[in-house]
């Protein structure tokens, strides 16, 4: 068993070590969830205090065969406005374990390879980050630093599953017809997503994110990786920079929205991707139309109308703000897994592993197997 | 082998030209949650172009390649996450069982474990043919598939019939369309005429 600590990103959490940090007592988690009753507060995040979180990913390959490898996403995303990645530490019986980056997509991950014949491949990865609620006042234009040419290229580019031509471009043009400013166009697309899509509870995981197929089918149901990818694609089709941010819900919503937070310390299935749009007068701006549809479907008592006050509040707030109860991994698309000569992934949000030469089902954590726990930590 | 499909004049029914890899079109009005598109008929592929190459590894079997000399074959692209795929597969299986037409299932971009479990759980019945693994979507792209499910009927190495979206395999016109496109060999006794088989 080897234990390693990755200090490459430790600067963001200077002075924090595994020994110095203390997990908040489990009761604190429940207390946080109970602090706000559903009717207590209107959903309206503002720029908040920084909070520190720790997620612990445990992987045990149940039926190892041949050369077993695993790739666990870690935070490569950072935005000084609301998310700073911290250190990663791990304990494993793997033959090799190292932090790697897929250079083309920019995704960071812990790559492990076990000796052939290892009967019980296992790893525990602990990742930390700080995050806070964030909001952009869209009534007060500023002068943010413009994107570099490379940043603009990357965040307006088509990806394997997010084309920006064809039906995506045609649909986007139709939505923004008559809208002059960047902000008006993006708002029109946000509203279109809220009005025309739905969250499909039967979708596995967070969805596939094949947005051209989604549009062509006319059945605009899915989850965040579908609906926010569609939002990003429609925005990119206008030449406006946008990005999916893939991550994990870690703690409850402080506004009492059950649907917009992790409601248990077990967050194995709490993956969620958000979106950011770069507006020339405001910089990177939080947006999450998929979560508006999640509130519609899931917020008790469920299947809310669009004019329900909870939905109205979320719809308004999630165009320009969000809560920091979430851990960001990356904004990567078409991710290659280093050391594996297999297909690229549409995105990297779940643990991945190869056994007997083929990928395990990352959407089946019980048979994979992996678990993810989250906690707020005091520093 | 096609088998004895009901014989009907379907010349009008298959006159539609299918545009593969269609260019930009405006999105159809979004469907509400309960309003899924209904299954439809296969359409004639204009000009019967040569079928794109298809050579893939198979789930739990030897690699499969489609050859020009193969018997009439349905090439069916699907994925386990695709709701209409899940409803279509049992109907396709019934069609294959009754008609004897060969089918190659092509799963698009999913881990083998997931596909294996999907068929083992039986929610969409057993796989009616070999399941090929298009892990990097290259085959789907090569065949111009922009929507799942997608079905192609290949006869003598040429695309004859196709549909993106769910096919109504129980509709007699579907059977008739394939029957017209690929008459059965004279000497073969069709499965439908053999009656219920027991072993």
pLDDT digits (tens, 9 = 90+) for A325-344: 999 999 999 999 999 999 99
Does A171 sit within 8 Å of B27, measured CB to CB? yes
What's the pLDDT band for B108 if we cut at 50, 70, 90? very high
| Strand segments (E) across A16-119 | 22-23, 51-60, 69-73, 83-92, 96-102, 107-113
Least confident of A221-235, B10-24, B126-140: B10-24
In chain A, which residues have their Cβ closer than 8 Å to the Cβ of B26? 167, 170-171, 174
Cα separation of A56 and A127, whole Å?
Answer: 6
- The residues, ordered by sequence, that sit 6+ positions from A140 with a Cβ below 8 Å of its Cβ are none
Residues of A at the B interface, defined by Cβ within 8 angstroms? 160, 165-167, 169-171, 174, 196-198, 200, 202-204, 207-208, 212-213, 215-221, 342-344, 346, 358-364, 367
Which pair of structure tokens corresponds to residue A259?
A: 């649907």
Radius of gyration from C-alpha coordinates of chain B:
16
pLDDT at B36: 59
In chain A, which residues have their Cβ closer than 8 Å to the Cβ of B165? 217
Domain limits for position B166:
43-170
B29 touches chain A (CB under 8 A): yes
Domain assignment present for B141: yes
Contact criterion met (CB below 8 Å) for A161 and B81: no
Interface pTM (ipTM) of the complex? 0.82
Cα separation of A123 and A108, whole Å?
Answer: 17
Neighbours of B125 (CB within 10 A): 14
Give yes or no for a cis peptide into A155 (omega within 30° of 0).
no
Give the residue, A24 or A323, on which the prediction is more confident. Answer: A323
Listed by start position, the domains of chain A span 2-133+333-378, 137-329
The angle subtended at Cα A74 by Cα A72 and Cα A79, nearest 5°, is 155
Q: Check pLDDT > 70 for residue A271.
A: yes
Cα separation of B129 and B72, whole Å?
Answer: 14
Contact criterion met (CB below 8 Å) for A361 and B112: no
Contact criterion met (CB below 8 Å) for A335 and A29: no
Q: Check pLDDT > 90 for residue B8.
A: no
For tokens 């806070």, what's the residue? Answer: A132
Options 2.60.40.350, 2.40.70.10, 3.30.70.2170, 2.60.40.2250; CATH of A2-133+333-378? 2.60.40.2250
Q: What is chain A's percent helix, strand, coil content, to nearest 5? A: 25, 30, 45
Cα separation of A97 and A87, whole Å?
Answer: 15
- Residues facing A354 on adjacent strands: A69, A359
pLDDT at A208: 93
Across residues A82-98, what is the average pLDDT?
A: 98
Domain assignment present for B74: yes
Nearest to A213 among B33, B83, B148 (CB): B148
Across residues B173-184, what is the average pLDDT?
A: 84
The CATH number of the domain where B132 resides is what? 3.40.30.10
Contact criterion met (CB below 8 Å) for B151 and B163: yes
Across residues A30-55, what is the average pLDDT?
A: 76
- Nearest alpha carbon to residue A106 among A309, A338, A274: A338
* Domain A137-329 of CATH type 3.90.1150.10: no
Domain assignment present for B16: no
B195 touches chain A (CB under 8 A): no
Does A165 sit within 8 Å of B111, measured CB to CB? no
Does B147 sit within 8 Å of A213, measured CB to CB? yes
Cα separation of B58 and B50, whole Å?
Answer: 23
């Amino acid at each position: 068993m080897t234990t390693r600590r990755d200090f490459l990103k430790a600067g963001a959490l200077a002075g924090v070590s595994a020994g110095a940090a203390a997990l908040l007592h489990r009761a604190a988690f429940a207390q946080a969830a109970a602090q706000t009753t559903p009717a207590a507060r209107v959903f309206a995040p503002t720029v908040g205090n920084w909070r520190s979180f720790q997620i612990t990913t445990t992987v045990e390959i149940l039926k190892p065969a041949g050369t077993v490898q695993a790739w666990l996403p870690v935070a490569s995303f950072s935005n000084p406005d609301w998310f700073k990645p911290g250190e990663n530490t791990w304990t494993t019986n793997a033959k090799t374990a190292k932090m790697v980056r897929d250079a083309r997509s920019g995704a960071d991950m812990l790559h492990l390879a076990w000796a052939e014949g290892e009967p019980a491949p296992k790893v525990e990865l602990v990742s930390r980050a700080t995050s806070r609620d964030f909001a952009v006042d869209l009534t007060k234009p500023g002068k943010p630093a413009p994107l570099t040419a490379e940043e603009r290229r990357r965040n307006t580019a088509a990806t394997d599953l997010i084309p920006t031509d064809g039906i995506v471009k045609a649909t986007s043009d139709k939505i923004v017809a008559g809208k002059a400013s960047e902000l008006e166009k993006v708002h029109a697309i946000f509203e279109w997503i809220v009005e025309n899509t739905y969250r499909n509870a039967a979708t596995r995981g967070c969805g596939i994110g094949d947005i051209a197929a989604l549009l062509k089918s006319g059945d605009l149901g899915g989850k965040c990786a579908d609906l926010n990818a569609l939002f990003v694609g429609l925005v990119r089709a206008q030449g406006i920079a946008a990005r999916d941010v893939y991550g994990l819900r870690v703690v409850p919503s402080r506004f009492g929205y059950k649907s917009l937070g992790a409601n248990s310390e077990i967050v194995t299935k709490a993956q969620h991707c958000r979106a950011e749009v770069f507006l020339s007068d405001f910089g990177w701006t939080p947006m999450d139309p998929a979560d508006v549809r999640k509130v519609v479907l899931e917020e008790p008592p469920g299947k809310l109308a669009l004019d329900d006050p909870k939905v109205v509040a979320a719809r308004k707030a999630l165009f320009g703000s969000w809560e920091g109860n979430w851990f960001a991994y990356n904004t990567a698309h078409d991710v290659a897994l280093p050391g594996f000569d297999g297909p690229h992934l549409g995105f990297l949000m779940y643990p991945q592993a190869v056994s007997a030469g083929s990928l395990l089902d990352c959407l089946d954590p019980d048979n994979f197997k992996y678990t993810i726990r989250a906690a707020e930590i005091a520093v | 082998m096609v088998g004895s499909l009901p014989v009907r004049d379907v010349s009008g029914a298959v006159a539609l030209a299918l545009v593969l890899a269609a260019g930009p079109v405006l999105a159809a009005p979004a469907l509400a949650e309960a309003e899924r598109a209904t299954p439809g008929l296969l359409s004639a592929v204009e000009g019967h172009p040569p079928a794109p190459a298809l050579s893939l590894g198979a789930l739990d079997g030897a690699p499969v390649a489609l050859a020009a000399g193969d018997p009439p074959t349905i090439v069916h692209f699907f994925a386990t996450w695709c709701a209409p795929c899940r409803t279509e597969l049992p109907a396709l299986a019934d069609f294959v069982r009754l008609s004897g037409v060969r089918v190659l299932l092509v799963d698009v971009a999913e881990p083998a474990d997931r596909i294996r479990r999907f068929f083992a759980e039986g929610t969409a019945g057993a796989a009616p043919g070999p399941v090929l693994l298009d892990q990097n979507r290259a085959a789907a792209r090569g065949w111009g598939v922009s929507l799942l499910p997608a079905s192609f009927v290949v006869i003598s190495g040429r695309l004859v019939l196709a549909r993106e979206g769910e096919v109504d395999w129980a509709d007699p016109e579907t059977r008739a369309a394939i029957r017209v496109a690929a008459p059965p060999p004279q000497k073969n006794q069709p499965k439908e005429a053999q009656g219920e088989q027991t072993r």
